[in-house]
Structure 1
């Protein structure tokens, strides 16, 4: 309550007061005149909807609309049939969940209302046209692993309306056990020994009569083509390299049993000038699907005139392990122990070799000697030789060698056979 001598007053009604009134009366001296009650009649402010989010056909990604915020106002929203309110259903900001239907040309409307003391409800209405697109929604996403192995791997297409018709294909088909199907879920399994990059494609026959496609690249298995290159330079040493094969693969090297990681590495060998070393280099590629190893032996001639030449395959062991052995030796070594000449001969037993006819009609052994190397127990080469004519017999003069245990490796060009030799 307050009093004033002015004939006119201005009263501000606080925001949110809608059901109230003002009582006023006049007075002269001690005389008080009759009072008059004036109801407060409040008109709603103008409201509008700001912005219009893009709605995609067949998408069920939630969209949010914002109306002008006025304290005390009650908001009533109207939206396309099939849509639902996710949050803020009677507030100035509402989040709606589309059903993926074609709503081209339709509107979202809001009505703001307030009821005053006279019980007279004042309303104000705003609407906005739905910003609609039949293009591929960026909200369509494919979830799933980056790598497909022999067990089933699930891929799912998200934010697509259940009412849309969906098919999927996986290409190239030879990489997968099953390469096509229906629905928003696809289970992919790698075919036997399959490897390489594939593509998963979901095709959406939308509710608007058009066809949409979304793709994702996947890697299948581990490469079957395992190889590496080796070279030597004075500044970098032995340089080893293998191509990156994808699928989250890692590369692990073993150089005479010493481990190194990476697809490209360099190793500086320790050696004495003008000596030869037999170096075993293995490469193992691995990912979550598989692991594969290849191993090659090289003959390294130390500086001042360094060379690195392929000596042969390590066999199945690799990485500094013993090379592949055969249950039946292809070569005989005698005498053993030795102190003068060490003889190597192809075993001539019919059960341990194959024969073929020469141009002269003579039967000759299919196994020959392509190369030999004699190393001490530390791996230093004491004698090595390669043969162009592939003899069946060879000799090594060991008279100058110190007494001890040595390793003799004989190669037929495909396999390496290892013998322990004692020099006494």
Structure 2
């Protein structure tokens, strides 16, 4: 889920002595995240304050609503299924694999954890989805043992959630409204004027999804030209010893001198005069390299052992920047740009769960529509994904919102594409 090249670049560019210098500030930032008052002395770095706001026409077309059955038929006409969730090294992703591991040649503590999970009587479909959200780790490390204990603790709540989706399938389906997405204004309208914290999730490495996010930000600025917009990103570090300190926005010259980081989302953000904050704690990432012991980088970074820790750290940055910004711009709107697992409301310890007092709106960008609890709702194999022929917009209607059950307030369904980045295993 992470672009290891970009992370490695910063780890290499920040020598060990510099990491040691910023570590105390890191810890102080983390400690005071919940208090906010400790950040009052931090000042923002230089930024492009005089950038012209774009004057963009708002294109909006009344959506032509289609049924879930129609969308499924359109996907069926393409007749191509894509397995997105490929088993990662050192993980178990199915009920059969879990049961086989119990009797395999493996450390007793790991096998005992697998047996305890198998005794929870998941159906094969439930287990497939659960282990896709929270993969069981098999490498003999403390990291794996901790991860597996966390998912054992999470399993009962997941089973209740799955039971709820099954028992309310008809009413959830009737509340789901799907239409073709042919103008960014439709997505802005689906988010609504009251939202002040909008979480934008993606499947990593898909250029078409980044283009959809760019179109959304442009349309949002056109709809609300006087509203300050702030962007938080998973894909940028929260600090850099040569550019900015914890609690500060990323300065413009960082993107100019490090063009590998300057993708179309950040380029547009700078043009729209958006402050951009990095979220990723590279010190934690660096530490995990010593703990993974054979795990692929993407697996370790998305494991349940790592996800809540990262989200909690990000929460501190988000809350601080929101409080600081609202002192001068009380009507500001904040966007969080991250992977879908971070912003999904049905995932335990996700960002919207931690920030529920802010009433966040979660917008998922997905490759197709049979994924996560939406695929589970339709009775599909959660590991398989039907391709859609064009972008579609899914949202809730009839005065109902089942985002806590299915994970999203709004979902953009984008035709499938292969990742445009490679994520090598950690060495």
Q: TM > 0.5 between the two? A: no
Larger radius of gyration: 1
Higher strand residue share: 1
What TM-score does the superposition give when structure 1 sets the normalisation length?
Answer: 0.16
Q: Could you say which structure has the greater relative contact order, defined with CA pairs below 8 angstroms and 6 or more residues apart?
A: 2
What TM-score does the superposition give when structure 2 sets the normalisation length?
Answer: 0.16
